[in-house]
Structure 1
């Protein structure tokens, strides 16, 4: 794709990065074929190719260009950042990096309305602090009958109790990211992980000082706040890394995808660049640990018929499509076929709150595909997908490691 930046603009790091990405695009349109929002809306501007053109025009335009409007931002806001287009693209366009640049630019040029800013600020403050989120969640569950309709549908039931975690007792040591919303929504996920890995002679330990991975802030265009969280997590993990921690385990694929990009996002920070790169090397989705273990030592009983929803952050961002299915099959679970398994469920972080109509359409389409094989349980690998799919109150939805833990207990 041809670009027309001024010499002055080309001195700016974000323009240099944007131009590099734009020039890899050959505007073939293959990306539109697998874009969830383009499939729903049929608008070129709601597909990756159209959004790339919008961002190119935005970044090339002068500061006072009146054609840069809220409509441009709307089409960027509607993007799920599912990265399906990156999997499809024959030219290797790093679309999500360009989207981060475009969103930051439109945010700077076209201020949001006060209600919109308040919603995004509220989401950031409510979700990223685990104790605050758990307190708000508990309050909402207690007074659920009084919660307004739109919010009531988002209010999950009380979670399954976590159960006991084994004490660290093995020479193989890994860290585990507890997450920000997962301890409140599904505390059993990380507890089940600890129990399963313990049976494989691996001890996992949380680091209390490590908090939200930074994705929520970053993708709500508070990118400086997101980077501050990255640095805080690096500082929290680093003493354990120096002591030989084997990996940093992520049980939410959204967090895993983000932590694996710390090295790239902090590459220009001289104080953190090398540490961030090391953290990204150590970051492993749970399935990356289990698929390399001798699973025959685990005896699974009473295996259920499952449908697996592979989150976008697992299959498109981390390129681990098929990995969980492989582990579950080795353990004896029966997996039902899922049509269009590459498509997003509509959760996409806070997307189900900021774009509820599109998110609900995508959720229902995904559930129809998942339930076509009549599974007993739907399993997934990301807390956002799990909560979003479960909000329809149809087939039970769990994290896949909980089902494994129960079967081998």
Structure 2
């Protein structure tokens, strides 16, 4: 199916809202906006869910005690409510997994900023967490080897999101509330006028009162001056027996080492444990730079060193994939309008930790489209901060 536009030849080209990029955030924004009664067009260069951006790879971690900053926690609280609501709905329809509440362990040196910030955010918002030392962790999860100077923050209500299932569910739900899809449709330009927004695409021009841009890695092809850098990352599945399964109460985890290098992983499924390294600036200058996993020696070696030290019972690599981040210089999101008339909202720069927020970011986009107040302080995520950083 090239596009639903081709199937709906008489489809009007004027909308209340056009969403550019229909991956994690875009699919959620499309559903919530159409559900609220807006006439919505959801556009994507490919057929989502796909493997050209950041949303593939089966799973993502959902956690709330946030080492990246307590500014995120109010959105995370709402995000988890939305994930649980989606899980409950899908349970009675397709039945595909959405969220597995297996717990998440965040670990690192006791004085690491990530750990101290996670504890701070948990205390500020009265989150249900358990702070543990390395010795206690070893008793509970003997498969995990933490150095004596490490601490951990365990979240029993956190867990794993099934990313591609979620996008498929949002897309199906968006159809049910009459959102229209234009997939395999490349966007060339987005322009504003007093009357609204014009989106120029490979399938013609479309018009709307407002637009939300959730285009991800290559958003600078449309808006070249954005402070976003595309980077390539990899993740892989390694052989792991039942000890590492969530059925054996093994949690999802994030672990930061003494050098500030961060790793994340998931309980094993079918004897395969997925693991990745969060940040390593492998800048991409073109789409051709996103080569497959295994194209570079470093793709596997960094993960092997981590596994040997922290999870010595995990075996060899079974398979791997590459993905991409839309990275900001400070690692924080951009949630802001792009024009003086406030007709275009940008939700981008998710910097490799955005999927868990997709539900609530979609809801925020819907509120913007409907001119409704947004119940979060988004000043921390504004574009203005980059100008201020340059002045400083």
TM-score, normalization by structure 2: 0.23
More strand by share: 2
